[in-house]
Structure 1
Amino acid sequence: MHKQIYVNLPVKDLARTKAFFEAVGYRFNPQFTNDKAAGMELGDNLYAMLLSEDFARTFTPKAFPDGKTATTGWVCLSCESSEEVDALVAKARAAGATIPSEAQDHGFMYGHGFEDPDGHHWELVHMRGMPPQG
């Protein structure tokens, strides 16, 4: 059905947010990056468009909630292993992320996450199998 996903996120300070995600280990596609937006590569055909709030307002008349006090959703990314989950959270913490909760191990799934400088929640999970039935 769909071939790519682009998650659009408004950010207060594009340079700061870009530096944060570069410290975590993500790359930006220069073809989709300028002083108004940054096209962050999350994986094969997976992208986050980080949009300065002024630029993001050209796409919607709605107000942007403060991500530090309100949640309208969060981004969840799959990882190859529990170790990758922990490594990315550690990099995010070192780059200044807020870690809102402890890691959770549900047996079939391991997850942990962080909040970026704008308060957007990024959840990282490693699926080990299927959830128990019943």
Structure 2
Amino acid sequence: MSKSAYIKLTQTVSLDEVKEKLDHLIDHTSRTGEQLDWDYASAAFPYSVKEKKTSDGNHWLLLKGKESRLYKYLLIGMDPGKEEAAASTPSIQVVVPDGATHGDYAKANEFCRFLAKSFAAELHLFNGRVMYFNPRKP
């Protein structure tokens, strides 16, 4: 059974901005690898990113694992929130589909934390726990 984590945003964000953040992560880890003289980028981000479109017009990022034994795939998409609700908040949905490995779950948690920190958002993890990276009143 697939599981989802949600990053509840305080501002409007597009899927292109999420992809830019992932590209920034790849660039950052490759520079760290150059300093260490090690291929750290392939260990820190073992996925290739492809943009997919579903039949109903939704856009998703498919993260397909480069090493199929340890990492298979993840899905990242935008969830605009419930349109009926007056206080709807847009969010980023990270899905770990059926057949995913333990490595996929671990990387999904890492990516969720990175995106939540980058966008100063509230993170609802796969296990139901909540992490707050958004500024809150004391």
TM bin, normalised by shorter chain, reads 0.3 to 0.5
Higher strand share: 1
Higher helix share: 2
Tell me the TM-score normalized by structure 1. Answer: 0.34
Higher relative contact order (CA 8 A, sep 6+): 2
